[in-house]
Structure 1
Amino acid sequence: MAHIPIEAVPYLESAIYLPMLLIVLEKDYELIEHGQFKLKRPYVHLIEEAKKLAQRDLQDVKAYLKSHYLKVVQGERDELFTEYHFHYKQILEVRRYSNIRLRNRVEELLNLYLNKASQAHSAIQ
């Protein structure tokens, strides 16, 4: 039985996590923009840079998926799990992810991208 190539799994999972990360960054951006911050600009710039980096990586992931005939579709979801369908040519693989695992991974990515954004900003100065 044929399977999805193991080297494709990180790209498929990035196609799940990066859009979630972008949603979190966008919501945080809105909260800061409309919040009672004295100095908003540093936070806004940090989030904008993190969004740019994540969007660039998501573009690369989408290009990889397209060139390798891969697709991710969200399936059913409940309080504990979210199902994702990984399509590869004529193969369908269904994987269930714990919602807690999804949240924790997005939080890890948030830290990673904010650090990258901060380093990129420091390198410019």
Structure 2
Amino acid sequence: MTRIPEKDRNMMEQAIYLPMVLTILNRDLVVVNASPFKLKQPYTELIEETMKVIQQELREIKQYMKDRSLAVEQVSHDHAFTGFLFLYKDYQEQHNYFNPRIRNRVQELLSFYLYKRFTSFIAEHTPHP
């Protein structure tokens, strides 16, 4: 049983996932720039602007964690699991994440930041009959 409140644990998990999303977007930006696309600018702008949004959220998460004495560190990694040490005030908890779960969550976040955040915004601000 974890002693870390759900909101704090969610913030700590975001501190794990968002840097991974940024790494993927950086790699994708390199691929787009090296590709034979006729018009690269819309793709590079989408990726760069998405990265800015994620970087801003990551800054806010890190500040939240700093203000509450929270930290997360990767302590192990193998073909199946990645281990993280969650530091919550005076407590330490070891959490192991199944690597496919990490990949799936990063993929969900990538989808959200690239386009789903726009569709949810549109749906919220569109009048319904």
**TM-score, normalized by length of structure 1?**
0.89
* Structure 1: distance between partners of 2:66 and 2:56: 15
- Give 5+ residue unaligned stretches, structure 1: 120-125
Check conservation: 2:70, 2:88, Cα contact below 8 A. yes
* Structure 1: distance between partners of 2:117 and 2:49: 5
Aligned to 2:59: 59
Aligned to 1:109: 109
SS of 1:4's equivalent in the other structure is coil
Check conservation: 1:17, 1:105, Cα contact below 8 A. yes
Structure 1 counterpart of 2:22, which letter? L
Higher relative contact order (CA 8 A, sep 6+): 1
SS of 2:83's equivalent in the other structure is strand
Task: Tell me if 1:15 matches 2:18.
Answer: no
Aligned 1:1-125 pairs, distance under 5 A: 3-115=3-115
Across the two proteins, how many residue pairs are aligned to each other?
Answer: 120
Task: Give the 4+ runs in structure 1 shifted more than 4 A.
Answer: 116-119
Check conservation: 1:75, 1:84, Cα contact below 8 A. yes
* Structure 2: distance between partners of 1:15 and 1:98: 17
* Structure 2: distance between partners of 1:118 and 1:43: 16
Check conservation: 2:2, 2:93, Cα contact below 8 A. no
**1:10-37 alpha-carbon deviations (Å, 9 max, x no partner):** 1000000000000000000011011121
| Aligned-pair CA distance for 1:62 | 0.2
Q: Identify if the C-alpha distance between structure 1 residues 2 and 90 changes in structure 2 by more than 3 Å, giving closer, same or farther.
A: farther
CA RMSD of aligned residues (A): 2.0
SS of 1:25's equivalent in the other structure is helix
**TM-score, normalized by length of structure 2?**
0.86
* Structure 2: distance between partners of 1:116 and 1:4: 29
